[in-house]
Amino acid sequence: MSATSSEQTLATAVLSGDRRALARLITRVENRAPDALEALAILHSHTGRAAIVGVTGAPGTGKSSLVNALALALRRRGQTVGIVAVDPTSPFSGGAVLGDRVRMVDLAGDSGVFIRSMASRGSLGGLAATTGDVVRVLDAAGFAVILVETVGAGQSEVEIARMAHTTVVVDAPGLGDEVQAIKAGILEIADILVVNKADRPGAQNTVRTLRAMLELGHRLRTGGHHGVRAVAAAVQAEPVFDSWTVPVIETVATEHKGIDELLAALDRHQAHLRETGEITDRERQRVEAELLARLREALLARLLAERPPEALEKTIQRILRRELDPNTAVRALLEDDLSSPDGKG
Amino acid sequence: MSATSSEQTLATAVLSGDRRALARLITRVENRAPDALEALAILHSHTGRAAIVGVTGAPGTGKSSLVNALALALRRRGQTVGIVAVDPTSPFSGGAVLGDRVRMVDLAGDSGVFIRSMASRGSLGGLAATTGDVVRVLDAAGFAVILVETVGAGQSEVEIARMAHTTVVVDAPGLGDEVQAIKAGILEIADILVVNKADRPGAQNTVRTLRAMLELGHRLRTGGHHGVRAVAAAVQAEPVFDSWTVPVIETVATEHKGIDELLAALDRHQAHLRETGEITDRERQRVEAELLARLREALLARLLAERPPEALEKTIQRILRRELDPNTAVRALLEDDLSSPDGKG
């Protein structure tokens, strides 16, 4: 890897704690600038020290306030904090900008905190890769804890949560039945559950429901009558470390209530990861998921670059005329890719 | 394309309206069975007649009830309806199963309705491709209207909404501030806005907010001071057909209120698509998005199949030892792919 002086300068400045260099590099990473990728290659060997915490959950649970309160508590005990707020919902920047403004009130002007909101540009795979790179930059820059917050509720959370050592799933009372149904999927990725807005009516009910769902999930995993195939698939996909019991913690983030308990649970989970060696497995999964996401994008980009721009369009038009179906088209494009790099369309 | 008798039989049975064959084929499509792909190739030439309507929005808005009410109204005027409920949130099947049960009460036993819930298996890209195929099967089977409902709130909606001719975004009063922030992203894909649960307090406020956001979005698109780059990107990505004004329709789905108005808006939008020729553009975008998603998955699958299973693991381990960063790793894997099919990495 031969680095030009400009890349080395930027990487060195980031490593030395230069905040403006950090902001500049992150912007270049978001824009996928080639020199940013070189700087990332330099920074990579300096990563691996930060505790990466994912905070996710359904809309309306108050995730941003919780991340805010958590960051303040971490600062109070002297740890530096990087916050990456990922908003995969907005092709524009509306959501991300809004999130920034909410947070700025409490954390602005503290050099021990660095906040970056990211909106979606292009595919979800691309966003996951960029988020991974931004986390890597903050890790190399020496931030002790990196909070990755995802707004939305869906596959995006699951993908982005895979980048974290500890995943905090936030819930709140009174979000309605549909949200309850959705939670089943998100619960599976939780290391710590938070019931935020715990001063609202129905909070105890939410806590009870979550505990029951955790209990059910545990029974399913350890072999019940239902979902044997689904469980087998889940077991195959990732090893189960059964010694960690997911705690349910009640918070009122806007009043900073329950935040110390949450912090203690985070500490316990980080210790658990190290003691059991699970941290190695998580890191491995994280790297694999990231690598596959990048490969998908890079392979497609290469295929499209290798053939004349009209080749793809011709295929699309043939599908539209019902002469060709998409599956056969993909097979043809791939075979074409092997036999001739020019493409036959 | 040489089709064996079993594929032809299944395809022919689906075309002749055999409901059990339809259910069987869709299951095979979900499992990506090779014979299902052959059947899809046969069916493709019979597609293109259905009106494909996407129904999406934040959790808690009552999308399932709305789809239910819409299906009943379509049936009442004699149209057949296919419903594909996509739940990208659950790696298990919890959410999807729940959705089925809710719907079955009203629509069970009606042979003019076919309902299929789909949970996520593997990546979002894979889910989008499978959903596309299931829609195609229902289209070929002759269903007049296909309702694609997505549960969740995020990029998944945007991806899956691209498959629809008309996208209905559902909102409801009282979902909280965070949901409001999220909506900005989802609003951009709406052809029709629905405020469901319109009998609840705050409904008029939600209607007003949505109208204001639509107005702001319109001003941004037609060139304001803010977000010039974002707007330029949006304009580049897809042509703007300005003659369609997004209507805001109030419904109480559980009481079947406002459903006729929604149906009328759907008819108007379908007519608009045909009159302006926008339908051609939407079909094109739909095919392109689907083709690219499939290509990504297929290219990755091929790359991984081409090299020994330990090649990827070796790369992962090198990244974990900080000897290699992910971007450089991807470049190496791609170069390797060109120079030698066995892999060195």
pLDDT digits (tens, 9 = 90+) for B13-62: 999 999 999 999 999 988 888 888 889 999 999 999 999 999 987 767 88
Facing residue for A89 by CB, picked from B153, B290, B298? B153
Q: Where are the alpha helices (DSSP H) in A118-194?
A: 124-140, 155-161, 177-187
Range of the domain at A342: 307-345
Question: Would you say how long chain B is, in residues?
Answer: 345
pLDDT of residue A287: 87
Mean pLDDT of chain B: 79
Q: Does some domain include residue B300?
A: no
Residues of chain A in contact with residue B186, where contact means CB-CB under 8 angstroms, are: 89
> B218: which residues sit within 8 A by CB, 6+ positions away?
none
> Looking at residues A36-58, what average pLDDT do you find?
89
**Do A166 and A272 share a domain, yes or no?**
yes
Cα separation of B216 and A92, whole Å?
A: 13
Examine residue A62 and state whether it is found in any structural domain, yes or no: yes
What mean pLDDT do residues A319-335 have? 89
- Average pLDDT, rounded, for chain A: 79
Indicate the range of A174-178, A326-330, B107-111 predicted with least confidence: A174-178
CA atoms of B273 and B277, how far apart (whole Å): 6
In the listed set B278, B298, B315, which residue is the last one of a domain according to the structure? B278
| pLDDT cut 70: percent of chain B above it | 72
Backbone angles phi, psi at B19, to 5 degrees: -70, -35
SS (H, E, C) A62-117: CHHHHHHHHHHHHHHCCCCEEEEEEECCCCCCHHHHHHHHHHHHHHCCCCCEEEEE
Mutate to test the interface with A, among B46, B55, B178 (most CBs of A within 10 A): B178
pLDDT for the residue A163: 80
Q: Is A343 on the interface with B (CB under 8 A)?
A: no
Verify that B67 and B15 share a domain, yes or no. Answer: no
Residue of B nearest to A179 (CA): B59
Q: Are residues A127 and A223 in the same domain?
A: yes
DSSP string for residues in B168-219: EEEE-TT--HHHHHHHHHHHTT-SEEEE-STTSTTHHHHHHHHHHHHHHHHH
Residue B291: inside a domain: no
CB-nearest partner of A295 from B98, B185, B300: B300
Residue A9 to chain B, least CA–CA distance (Å): 19
What ipTM was predicted for this assembly?
0.75
B interface mutation test: which of A121, A179, A186, A325 has the most B CBs within 10 A? A325
The pLDDT score that the predictor gives to residue A265 is 97
Rounded-to-10 torsion of CA B134, B135, B137, B139: 170
**Angle in degrees, CA A129, A130, A132, rounded to 5:** 65
Strands (E), chain B: 51-57, 81-87, 113-119, 145-150, 166-171, 192-195, 248-250
Instruction: Tell me which of A275, A295, A315 is where a domain ends.
Output: A295
pLDDT of residue B138: 96
In terms of phi and psi (left: phi > 0; alpha: psi -120 to 50; beta: otherwise), the region of A247 is beta
Query: Is residue B332 scored above 80 in pLDDT?
Result: yes
pLDDT in tens, A155-210: 556 666 678 899 998 888 877 544 554 555 567 788 999 999 999 988 998 888 88
Same-domain status, A71 and A108: yes
CATH number, domain of B249, equals 3.40.50.300
Average pLDDT over residues B66-79: 94
Q: Are residues B23 and B160 in the same domain?
A: no
The backbone region for A121, taken as left when phi is positive above 0, alpha when psi lies in -120 to 50, beta otherwise, is beta
**Across residues B72-76, what is the average pLDDT?**
94
The per-residue pLDDT for B185 is 59
| pLDDT confidence tier of residue A126, bands split at 50, 70 and 90 | low
Domain-embedded: residue A271 = yes
Are residues B327 and A45, on separate chains, in Cβ contact within 8 Å? no
What is the rounded distance in angstroms from the CA atom of residue B149 to the CA atom of residue A249?
33
- In this structure, the answer to whether residues B13 and B37 fall within a common structural domain is yes
- With 50 as the cut, is the pLDDT of residue B184 above it? yes
Residue B242: what pLDDT? 54
147-206 in B: which are within 8 Å (CB) of A?
A: 151-159, 175-179, 181-182, 184-186, 188
**Min CA distance, A98 vs chain B (Å)?**
7
Task: Return the pLDDT at A314.
Answer: 92
Place of tokens 């020994």: B308
Mean pLDDT score, B223-243: 44
* Best A296, A333, A338 residue to mutate vs chain B (most B CBs within 10 Å): A296
Residue B314 is predicted with a pLDDT of 92
Same domain? B34 vs B73: no
For B317, which residue in chain A has the nearest alpha carbon?
Answer: A284
Asked if residue B52 and residue B13 are part of one domain, the reply reads no
Domain co-membership, A60 together with A144: yes
pLDDT of residue A224: 41
Weakest mean pLDDT among A42-51, A88-97, A304-313, B267-276: A88-97
Give the number of other CB atoms < 10 A from CB of residue B275.
10
Residue A72 predicted with pLDDT over 90: yes
Over residues B275-289, the mean pLDDT reads 88
Better-scored residue on pLDDT, B102 or B317 = B317
Residues B61, B25 within the same domain: no
* The pLDDT of residue A184: 55
Q: Does B124 touch chain A (CB under 8 A)?
A: yes
Residue B82, in any domain of the structure: yes
Last residue of a domain, one of B278, B311, B334: B278
Please indicate, yes or no, whether residues A57 and A107 belong to a single structural domain of this protein.
Answer: yes
In the predicted structure, residue A315 carries a pLDDT above the cut 70: yes
**Residues B143, B114 contacting (CB under 8 angstroms):** yes
Whole-number pLDDT of residue A344: 42
Mean pLDDT of B142-159: 76
Q: Are residues A109 and A42 part of one domain?
A: no
- Tell whether A300 is covered by a domain: no
Is residue A7 within a helix (H) or strand (E), and if so which, with residue range?
Answer: helix A5-15
Residue A96 inside a domain? The answer is yes
Angle at CA of residue A249, ends A97 and A254, nearest 5°: 40
Question: What total number of domains does chain B contain?
Answer: 2
What is the tens place of the pLDDT at every residue in A242-267?
578 999 999 999 999 999 999 999 99
Which residues in chain A have their CB less than 8 angstroms from residue B318's CB?
none
Percentage helix, strand, coil for chain A under 3-state DSSP, each rounded to 5:
60, 10, 30
Residue A150, domain member (yes or no): yes
Does B15 lie at the interface with A, CB-CB under 8 angstroms? no
